[in-house]
Amino acid sequence: AQSVTQPDIHITVSEGASLELRCNYSYGATPYLFWYVQSPGQGLQLLLKYFSGDTLVQGIKGFEAEFKRSQSSFNLRKPSVHWSDAAEYFCAASNPGDYKLSFGAGTTVTVRA
């Protein structure tokens, strides 16, 4: 069965420190991959997406993600976290050409001063 796994339920990071959120997928073929952020009381915002090509993807708000086929991973990174990055982060995937998204369980990021 197709699935998206986010192994970390909750991560706490100090402001200014780097952040990495893990995402693994299980799909028959390489899926399209996405990272979304959900701030408290807000809707989902797309941070970045990967369809094909360059495996390092740049997104908004200083985020980037790296696709690693050998590890079936699509980890999200940010070099220096700001307090406003505290939110819930969701990794999602879809089959190429299919718009239906499967979401991981989400990772809650807490930023401490």
Partner 1 sequence: SAVISQKPSRDICQRGTSLTIQCQVDSQVTMMFWYRQQPGQSLTLIATANQGSEATYESGFVIDKFPISRPNLTFSTLTVSNMSPEDSSIYLCSVVVAGDYNEQFFGPGTRLTVL
Encoded tokens for 91: 């990794």
The residue written with tokens 């819930």 in the block is 88
Residue 36 lies near partner 1 (rule: CB under 8 A): yes
**DSSP E strands: which ranges in the chain?**
3-5, 10-14, 19-21, 24-26, 32-38, 44-50, 56-58, 64-68, 73-78, 87-94, 102-103, 107-112
Task: Tell me which residues in 71-110 interact with partner 1 (CB under 8 A).
Answer: 90, 92, 94, 97, 99-106
Q: Which of 2, 12, 39, 42 binds partner 1 (CB under 8 A)?
A: 42
Part in contact with partner 1 (CB under 8 A); list of ranges 18-26, 41-49, 58-66, 75-83: 41-49
Q: Output 81 or 106, the one with its CB closest to partner 1.
A: 106
**Nearest residue to 34 (alpha-carbon basis) of 60, 10, 9:** 60
Give me the least distance between CB of 23 and partner 1, in Å please: 12
Residue 32 lies near partner 1 (rule: CB under 8 A): yes
Between CA 12 and CA 66 the distance in angstroms is 21
What is the contact surface with partner 1 in residues (CB under 8 A)? Answer: 32, 34, 36, 42-46, 49, 51, 90, 92, 94, 97, 99-106
